[in-house]
Amino acid sequence: MSVYDKLKELNITLPPVSVPAAAYVPYVQTGNLVFLSGHIARKDGKPWAAQFGRDIGTEEGKQAARGVAIDLMGTLQAACGGDLNRVKRIVKVMSLVNSTGDFTEQHLVTNGASELLGQVFGEAGVHARSAFGVAQIPLGACVEIELIAELA
């Protein structure tokens, strides 16, 4: 099954690449690797401002991370010249989770993104990963995720 068949089955429409809010580009390719800049969680088109352990829980956070993965795939599609079937492997995901000092489920929040990437890309979507709790993320967002992929 192609990546696009899987996206259709999951009823996912990929967004266009977001315009960077600061001095950076959405992605950089070197060789066969493409590095995607961090994408923040959004809700109703605005940054999803919340902090885990204070005003958002793990299950809702998984949905936030899933949404970030959809945005990342939109950017990755642009990096692939419009063809996600060129993705040979999702290599690495790094997730920053806006957390209080006693929140310890960053890895479970990040599963929202990791599980979706696995569903969409199959074995090629299984990746290495880091998930960190941080005191704050730009614009107060609850989650920020970056991604590295290998292209064919």
Predicted confidence (pLDDT) per residue in 42-70, tens digit? 999 999 999 999 999 999 999 999 999 99
Residue 1 pLDDT class (50, 70, 90 cuts):
confident
Chain-wide mean pLDDT for the chain?
97
Which own/partner pairs from 6-11 qualify as long-range (CB within 8 Å, at least 24 positions apart)?
Answer: 6/119, 6/120, 6/122, 7/73, 7/120, 10/116, 10/119, 10/120
Q: What is the mean pLDDT of residues 125-147?
A: 97
Beta bridge mates, 144: 40, 96
Q: What is the pTM of this model?
A: 0.96
Q: What is the mean pLDDT of residues 12-37?
A: 94
Q: Is the pLDDT of residue 38 over 90?
A: yes
Residue 119, burial from CB neighbour count under 10 angstroms (0-12, 13-18, 19+)? middle
pLDDT in tens, 87-99: 999 999 999 999 9
* 43 neighbors 143 (Cβ within 8 angstroms): no
Distances (CA, A) of 88 to 21, 81, 125, 149: 29, 14, 9, 8
pLDDT of res. 71: 97
Whole-angstrom distance, CA of residue 87 vs CA of residue 80: 8
